[in-house]
A and B are shown apart, each in its own frame.
Chain A
């Protein structure tokens, strides 16, 4: 470490210099790789913002599409996405959490539970277009919900379920076993232990997992396009409750797809501004998840 004495005692021989050069090179390459991770994100966001700039204002969010969707805003699609996301989470979160509690706290290692585990893992790997077809067959046709918000959100719920289960299990597993043992040792049942010890200590992880699913649900096009999202539906400007649940709605992802592939003569900045809104929605939800996690962590006692 001491350069002057080091220099005096050991002169910088060529092998040492080579080693130092390699070291500098390695650091530079690895640093560049790390930087390369954020470059695409910055480029994407920057490019979108620049192209979207003429349309980026509150009016764009609140206004409905006009003149054959070539002008105006994206309100119906924005509200539609909110409907789909919250409704799908309302279905999948309780089921997913309860299933994860069972799998993590009650389930023994027998063939039945191994089958359930396998099913959860496989369900997570099913492509979204397959979920779409399943939703079409199960909810639209078989359950007779028709093309509707209900069908679409149930399809999304099934798609998000395995990830919620996985995230919840991970959160539950992170609670030290000694906590449970302490609780059992004072005579608590399994359920009392879960309710009083396990859930309060894992809630931040569970909620984060659920909220992160919002971004996935908001971004999916295929499952909702097959089951209850339409190309266009006329609603009032700024109307917070424009849809009944047995009707179809518009959604941001689908709207972005149609105005960029289907509608001629769309004002140039509109598709980009739509992408920005979708991206901002996802980033905001992620930020909410992170701050919630930080807040709940700060109250953790261990």
Chain B
């Protein structure tokens, strides 16, 4: 199926063939298009796929790493933690970034498919923040109330149920959630809803940023998203208390590192088997202060306090 080789004595068709040959040229140019290592200038490609929560920090890692190691290309794509894990199980990527643990059966499946045990790296933390519109008078919420708002069978459907006064036509709570392949969705379901299902009728957004944007535009909305997506002046972050009666904790770097904030989670990278070569170097670099500073700058919580000041 190499269409460019059609030679022709046909002027107009030749023109088309010429255009095709030209288009193919970039592919043919780098000597046999060997994408992997080998040759005078070994070029390494690391394929990284997964969590939408982590895709922004993963992108800055790739951008910065290229500056120090120009021969290493990191390809970053999102889609959700589930998408990354699925691709890792199939063995089509090198590095899955996820905002939830790989389940035991997923690990078993990966082992069965590829013969390698997935290896986990904790590269940071994320506080899952509950956002409301900036004009919403609510300041704090409990875990149970969140479950009653979002989970199937939960009783809270109106703001007045929470004792919040909004204009009468805005009283019905608009729930803003995530698509089901999202790790954020899964984590919220597991840790806030206690593995119950979500109520039907929520607005399921395809990205962490969209959740915050919709909440920022909708007075009666409540939604959950990463700490890094806060847009001050548009939305408000609620303090969350683990149980009714306990003090509500403000989401933030300090409260996440001290494990006080109840809905925080680790940010993870998975490789197939123990990483070697450039892949290992890349992960090692992410764990250094340089990599961790990027975590904090992107709005997440680094592994160690104080890495932001070199």
A interface residues (Cβ-Cβ under 8 A, vs B)? 65-69, 83, 86-87, 89-91, 93-95, 140-141, 146-147, 149, 195, 199-200, 203, 207, 210, 225, 229-234, 240-241, 243-248, 258, 261-264, 296
Check if A68 sits within 8 Å of B60, measured CB to CB: yes
Residues of chain B with a CB closer than 8 A to A203's CB? 12-13
Given contacts A68-B59, A90-B20, 14 further A-B contacts (CB under 8 A): A68-B60, A86-B23, A87-B23, A147-B87, A147-B92, A199-B13, A207-B12, A231-B78, A233-B74, A234-B65, A234-B74, A241-B30, A262-B56, A296-B12
Residues of chain B with a CB closer than 8 A to A87's CB? 23-24, 27
Is B16 on the interface with A (CB-CB < 8 A)? yes
Partner of B63, one of A68, A146, A241, A243: A68
Residues of chain A with a CB closer than 8 A to B20's CB? 86, 89-90, 93-94
Check if B75 sits within 8 Å of A262, measured CB to CB: no
Residues of chain B with a CB closer than 8 A to A243's CB? 26
B interface residues (Cβ-Cβ under 8 A, vs A)? 1, 3-4, 6, 10, 12-13, 16, 19-20, 22-24, 26-27, 29-30, 33-35, 43, 45, 47, 49, 52, 55-56, 58-60, 62-63, 65-66, 73-79, 87, 90, 92-93, 206-210, 212, 228-229, 231, 298-299
Nearest CB to that of B90 among chain A residues? A141
CA distance A46 to B129 in the complex (A): 38
Given contacts A262-B208, A264-B229, A232 and B27 within 8 Å (CB-CB): no
Residues of chain B with a CB closer than 8 A to A234's CB? 62-63, 65-66, 73-74
CA distance A69 to B76 in the complex (A): 12
Nearest CB to that of A250 among chain B residues? B75
Residues of chain A with a CB closer than 8 A to B43's CB? 244
Nearest CB to that of B78 among chain A residues? A231
> Mind listing 17 A-B residue pairs with CB under 8 Å?
A67-B60, A83-B26, A86-B20, A93-B3, A93-B16, A141-B90, A147-B49, A231-B77, A232-B58, A232-B76, A244-B27, A244-B30, A247-B45, A248-B75, A248-B77, A261-B209, A264-B228
Looking at the assembled complex, report how far the CB atom of B60 sits from the nearest CB atom of chain A, in whole angstroms: 5
Nearest CB to that of B225 among chain A residues? A264
- Kindly list the 8 A-B residue pairs having the minimum CB-CB distance in the complex, ordered from nearest: A86-B23, A234-B66, A94-B3, A232-B59, A261-B207, A230-B77, A244-B35, A246-B35
Looking at the assembled complex, report how far the CB atom of A15 sits from the nearest CB atom of chain B, in whole angstroms: 52
Main secondary structure of the interface of B (DSSP, over half): helix
Check if B27 sits within 8 Å of A258, measured CB to CB: no
Looking at the assembled complex, report how far the CB atom of B21 sits from the nearest CB atom of chain A, in whole angstroms: 9
CA distance A234 to B282 in the complex (A): 15
CA distance A90 to B21 in the complex (A): 8
Check if A141 sits within 8 Å of B29, measured CB to CB: no
Nearest CB to that of B25 among chain A residues? A241
Partner of B55, one of A199, A200, A231, A245: A231
Residues of chain A with a CB closer than 8 A to B231's CB? 264
Given contacts A146-B92, A199-B13, A264-B229, A229 and B1 within 8 Å (CB-CB): no
Check if A245 sits within 8 Å of B56, measured CB to CB: no
Partner of B47, one of A65, A66, A147: A147
CA distance A65 to B64 in the complex (A): 12
Partner of A94, one of B6, B63, B66, B78: B6
CA distance A248 to B58 in the complex (A): 16
Given contacts A233-B62, A233-B74, A261 and B29 within 8 Å (CB-CB): no
Residues of chain B with a CB closer than 8 A to A245's CB? 27, 33, 35
Partner of B24, one of A67, A90, A232: A90
- Find the residue from A210, A231, A258 having the highest chain B CB count within 10 A: A231
Looking at the assembled complex, report how far the CB atom of A94 sits from the nearest CB atom of chain B, in whole angstroms: 4
Looking at the assembled complex, report how far the CB atom of A256 sits from the nearest CB atom of chain B, in whole angstroms: 13
Residues of chain B with a CB closer than 8 A to A210's CB? 16
Check if A262 sits within 8 Å of B298, measured CB to CB: no
Residues of chain A with a CB closer than 8 A to B59's CB? 68-69, 231-232, 263
Check if A262 sits within 8 Å of B10, measured CB to CB: no
CA distance A86 to B4 in the complex (A): 12
Check if B12 sits within 8 Å of A200, measured CB to CB: yes
Check if B63 sits within 8 Å of A229, measured CB to CB: no
Residues of chain B with a CB closer than 8 A to A247's CB? 35, 45, 73, 75
Residues of chain B with a CB closer than 8 A to A147's CB? 47, 49, 75, 77, 87, 92-93
- Find the residue from B6, B20, B208, B229 having the highest chain A CB count within 10 A: B20
Residues of chain A with a CB closer than 8 A to B207's CB? 261-262
Partner of A240, one of B24, B26, B27, B74: B26
Residues of chain B with a CB closer than 8 A to A258's CB? 55, 78
Check if A244 sits within 8 Å of B77, measured CB to CB: no
Check if B74 sits within 8 Å of A261, measured CB to CB: no
CA distance A296 to B22 in the complex (A): 21
Check if A229 sits within 8 Å of B24, measured CB to CB: no
Check if B63 sits within 8 Å of A66, measured CB to CB: yes
Residues of chain A with a CB closer than 8 A to B49's CB? 147
CA distance A68 to B59 in the complex (A): 6
CA distance A89 to B17 in the complex (A): 11
CA distance A84 to B228 in the complex (A): 33
Check if B76 sits within 8 Å of A233, measured CB to CB: yes
CA distance A14 to B24 in the complex (A): 72
Residues of chain A with a CB closer than 8 A to B3's CB? 90-91, 93-95
Nearest CB to that of A157 among chain B residues? B1
CA distance A68 to B56 in the complex (A): 7
